[in-house]
Amino acid sequence: MQTSLFIGFLCIAAAIASDPVPVVIWHGMGDSCCNPESMGYIKKLIEDNVPGVYVLSLMIGDSTSADVEHGFFMNVNTQVEEVCETLRKDARLASGYNAVGFSQGGQFLRAVAQRCPDPPMRNLISVGGQHQGIFGFPRCPAADWICEAVRRMLDWGAYVSFVQSSIVQAEYWHDPLNEKEYREKSVFLADINNELVYKDAYKQNLLKLNNFLLVMFTQDGMVVPRESEWFGFYQENNDKVLVAMENTTLYTEDRIGLRTLNQSGRLHFLSVDGDHLQISEATFISEIINKFLK
C-alpha cells in the first residue's frame, strides 16, 4: 500500500516535472487572438507538436472585435500593463513561459520581458516584429477605414501627443530625419529601446532570457524598413542608407543587452524568404517549435 502510494506520487511528480513550458502568443495588427486562420491555427500547431502544452493567445479587451480595434487604437503601454497583469494572475505561467509575438506583437512582448520579469519569460520569438520601428505605413485595402484613418493620423503628425497616446503605430513610428523628436516624444519604442531615459532594468530583464530569436522576412512588403525585424534601421538623417544591427548604437552601446545576449550565444536570427508573416508550417515547426518551444 505504502509502496504503491509512493510510486503513484513519483509518477505525478514526474508528470509535473516534465510538463512543457507554456507558450504565450500575441497577434499582429488587424488580427485577433482567436482567428482560426491565424492565431487559432498557430495555437493548434503548437499544441499538436508539443503534447500537453498550455498555449495562451492574448486577447486585448473583452471581445475579438475589441481586440482587433486595440491593435490600432490604444496606448500600447496600457496594453503591455494589462498583459503583465494577465500573466501574473495565471497560475499556469508561474514557473515561466515562452513567448511568440507576430509582427507588432513581437516588440510588445519584448516590452513585457523588459518591464515585467515575473513570471519569467524563457525564450522570446519575434516573427516579423519592428524592433527599431517603422518609417512608412503600408497601402490600405480600399474598404479598410481603420487602416485609412491610422494612415492619415500618421501623416498628420506621428509625434503629436494626442496621436502618440492613441494610435498604436505612432508609438513605434521612427523618423530617421527627426531622431531628436522621436527620442523625446515616442511614448513606447524610444522608451523600450532606452533612447532617452536609460532604465537599467530594461537591460537586466532582457538579459534574463534564455534565447531571443528574430525572424525577418526577406520579401516583406509591409514593414518599412524590413531590417527593423533584425534591429537594423536607417542611418540618422537619412531615409535610404540602412545600418545593420551590429553597427547601431543600440547594439554597440549594449543599451538593452543585445550585444551581451549575442556574445553568450542567446541571440538568434532567422531569415525567411517570403512576404510579411509568410512562413511555412514546416519552417515554423523545424525552426521555431522544435528549437525553442520544446
Ligand X SMILES: *[C@@H]1O[C@H](CO)[C@@H](O)[C@H](O)[C@H]1NC(C)=O
C-beta of 247 vs 286, nearer to ligand X: 247
Q: How far is the CB of 240 from ligand X (least distance, A)?
A: 15
Q: Is 239 a catalytic residue?
A: no
Q: Is 191 a catalytic residue?
A: no
Q: Which of 103, 126, 186, 228 is catalytic?
A: 103
C-beta of 64 vs 260, nearer to ligand X: 260
Residues 243-282 that bind ligand X (CB under 6 A): 244, 246-247, 262-263, 265
Give the per-residue contact string, 206-245, with ligand X (x = CB under 6 A; - = no).
--------------------------------------x-
Location of C-alpha cell 486577447: 59
Q: How far is the CB of 57 from ligand X (least distance, A)?
A: 32
C-beta of 108 vs 251, nearer to ligand X: 251
Q: Checking phi first, is residue 227 left (phi over 0); if not, alpha (psi -120 to 50) or beta?
A: alpha
The span from the CA of 84 to the CA of 116, in Å, is 6
Q: How far is the CB of 179 from ligand X (least distance, A)?
A: 19
Q: How far is the CB of 267 from ligand X (least distance, A)?
A: 7
Size of the site for ligand X (CB under 6 A): 6
Q: Is 57 a catalytic residue?
A: no
Give burial (CB, 10 Å; 0-12/13-18/19+) of 237.
exposed
The span from the CA of 95 to the CA of 124, in Å, is 15
C-beta of 247 vs 271, nearer to ligand X: 247
Q: How far is the CB of 214 from ligand X (least distance, A)?
A: 13
C-beta of 261 vs 289, nearer to ligand X: 261
Q: Taking the CA atoms of the chain, what radius of gyration do you get in angstroms?
A: 20
Chain positions contacting ligand X, by CB under 6 A: 244, 246-247, 262-263, 265
List the catalytic residues: 103, 220, 276
